[in-house]
Amino acid sequence: MALLACLQAFTLQTAMAYSKYNRLVDYRDRVTVYDSNEPTKSVYSIDLMSFPYMTNFEFNNTETGMICWAKSWAIYTEECYDKVASNWILINEFDKNFTNEMIDKIRNVTDPAANAIVGLIFETNSVMTSESLYSRPPVMSEATPGDCNTLKPYAYNKLEDPTDQSYKTKYQHFFVANCGVLDAIVPTYFVYTAMWLVTAGVAAAYLYFIIPSESRLSLQKSLLLLPALKALEVFLQGIWLSYCPWVGMDNSAYQ
């Protein structure tokens, strides 16, 4: 029984280790570009790293608009916003001054140009950090220069003739469940459940068929509950693991 209890505890710790290091709950940002002349035709798609300093980071979100290649606020307004009425997904080459100015401008809820921005992609070679959380725009990502260059041909202000060819873009921030790493662990719990039940059955058979009735003690009978309760505990743990992602693990799992 002691060995079985140790194996069970080890398995649970292994499951928790998977949860911690294999990121059973993950987020992904996806940019999907569509040909405006054929709205259902996807011409390009790429996954980007989520910018974690968003107030709505834990919630799924989908925005649509057009891409604007904008190093500064002035470029955005002059080359994109003033040219055509649309929601905009900005690609911003990270620059301390220009980027901070852009973020400050986007925060202005009374500015129509700011309200038209539904996404912001930072072009950067390193992981970004921030001391603040941001609620605008609703979706924000980080991307390498190489990834941004693959999106550049679809930016409105980089097209040779935007009136002849333009692209609509779907920008998603969504929850990803990576619970497959537990597939080999969950069945182990049901094996442990069976082993505990067998232990309880063997103990009961020994007590009631081998030991004379006059020699049976109440304490011996009560001890039969231990493996039975342990079987129930292990079974419930297995059920819990099989429901990954777990309730409370992350809000977005149930959006």
Percent of the chain with pLDDT over 90: 40
- Residues 157 and 62 placed together within one structural domain of the fold: yes
Least Cα distance to 149 among 121, 117, 174 occurs for 121
> Would you state the structure tokens that stand for residue 203, as one six-digit string?
């103990």
Taking the alpha carbons of 5, 7, 13, 15 in that order, is the dihedral positive or negative?
Answer: negative
Q: How many domains does the chain have?
A: 2
- Residues 99 and 216 placed together within one structural domain of the fold: no
Residue 157 has pLDDT above 80, yes or no: yes
Tell me how far apart the alpha carbons of residues 200 and 143 are, in angstroms, rounded to a whole number: 57
Q: Using a CB cutoff of 8 Å and minimum separation of 24, what contacts does 114-119 make?
A: 116/65, 116/81, 116/86, 116/87, 116/88, 117/76, 117/87, 117/88, 117/89, 117/90, 118/63, 118/64, 118/65, 118/87, 118/88, 118/89, 118/171, 119/63, 119/65, 119/88, 119/89, 119/90, 119/171
Question: What is the residue range of 246's domain?
Answer: 2-21+180-254
The pLDDT of 167-183, averaged and rounded, is 83
Residue 139 banded pLDDT, cuts 50, 70, 90: very high
Percent of the chain with pLDDT over 70: 77
- Residues 189 and 250 placed together within one structural domain of the fold: yes
Residue 105 has pLDDT above 70, yes or no: yes
Residue 81 banded pLDDT, cuts 50, 70, 90: very high
CATH number of the domain bearing residue 119: 3.50.30
- Residues 166 and 196 placed together within one structural domain of the fold: no
Boundary-marking domain end, from 162, 177, 192: 177
pLDDT at 218: 59
Boundary-marking domain end, from 145, 177, 209: 177
- Residues 75 and 171 placed together within one structural domain of the fold: yes
The pLDDT of 163-181, averaged and rounded, is 82
Which position has the higher pLDDT, 126 or 44?
44
The pLDDT of 125-135, averaged and rounded, is 85
Tell me how far apart the alpha carbons of residues 246 and 237 are, in angstroms, rounded to a whole number: 12
Q: What is the pLDDT of residues 226-235, one digit of tens each?
A: 777 777 777 7
The pLDDT of 10-21, averaged and rounded, is 58
Cα 85 → chain centroid? 32
- Residues 168 and 61 placed together within one structural domain of the fold: yes
- Residues 86 and 128 placed together within one structural domain of the fold: yes
- Residues 250 and 188 placed together within one structural domain of the fold: yes
Residue 216 has pLDDT above 70, yes or no: no
pLDDT at 176: 77
Whether the full predicted model's pTM is greater than 0.75, yes or no, is no
Residue 27 banded pLDDT, cuts 50, 70, 90: confident
Tell me how far apart the alpha carbons of residues 243 and 179 are, in angstroms, rounded to a whole number: 9
pLDDT at 253: 37
Least Cα distance to 75 among 28, 107, 113, 49 occurs for 113
pLDDT at 251: 44
- Residues 187 and 86 placed together within one structural domain of the fold: no
pLDDT at 255: 37
- Residues 39 and 159 placed together within one structural domain of the fold: yes
- Residues 38 and 125 placed together within one structural domain of the fold: yes
Specify the range with the lowest mean pLDDT, choosing from 54-63, 79-88, 224-233, 242-251.
242-251
Residue 18 banded pLDDT, cuts 50, 70, 90: low
